[in-house]
A and B are shown apart, each in its own frame.
Chain A
Amino acid sequence: MSSHFNNPRLNSVELRKLIPIFVSEITEDLNAFEAAFNSADYKFSLEVLHKIKGSALSFGITALEEKAKELLGLIRLEKLQHAFKELISLKLLIRELSEESKKIA
């Protein structure tokens, strides 16, 4: 079964043990991003997205990295309605990652 976590960055048992920490962090980061975005604190929302992007890169989760990059671009260009739609997409992706992580032994 295909999984975001079956990628070359997570090629050892030790590294795969870090997945719950990663998922927990990005879930917290998502909450922080959503709160900042909804309160129009775009500067902080960009900082949080940047963090999510860095974590996604390190753990080889390309879909999350791309989504974070997309949102970074939209907010910088002040395309906020579009960014709001992509926020929903980001939430779904992180939920998917959370569900996948529970299936990993």
Chain B
Amino acid sequence: MIDSKTKILLIDDSEAINEMNSYFFRQNIENVEILTAKNGKEALAIIENPDSEKLPDLVLLDLKMPVFNGIEFLEYLNSIEFSYKDKLNVILLTTSMNPDDKKRIGEFPFVSNYLIKPLSMKQVKIIISTNL
């Protein structure tokens, strides 16, 4: 069981998918805060928010989004320095992984895994046990 408040950031351009994934995590973690963003730009605003008490313990990131897609988001994070960087943990969630994207993803040390959509309750349990 996880005792301290866990913070998870879900990034997907579909509100419906964010809500579904949020439900899966809330079913498996007590005392969790779920934040959602529709694109990389919104996600950065959350991560860079100076008023935030705690940065996300885990980020689930869709690859294909309008307005700053997954790769652009990762490239930006990789290019800047911030104290949280070594603790950043991003899991990609995508419908497909073409070889070029897969190669690009390998360049980012803070991406721990990629999963093919749709996320299932079983996968969420595995994510929690291995990452949180």
Q: A: which residues have CB within 8 A of B?
A: 9, 12, 14-15, 18, 21-22, 25, 47, 50-51, 53-55, 57-60
Contacts and interface: CB of A to CB of B under 8 A. Distances in A.
Given A21-B15, A55-B14, A58-B16, 4 more contacts: A51-B14, A54-B14, A57-B118, A58-B17
B41 interface: no
Given A58-B118, A58-B119, A15 B14 contact: no
B76 interface: no
6 contacts: A22-B16, A54-B62, A54-B95, A55-B16, A57-B118, A59-B16
Contact of B16 (A12, A18, A53, A60): A18
Interface centre among B15, B20, B64 (most CB of A within 10 A): B20
Contacts, number: 46
Interface residues of B, number: 15
Interface of B: 13-17, 19-20, 23, 62, 64, 66, 95, 117-119
A50 B118 contact: no
Contacts of A25: 14-16
Given A21-B16, A25-B14, A54 B66 contact: no
Contacts of A60: 118
Contacts of B64: 47, 50-51
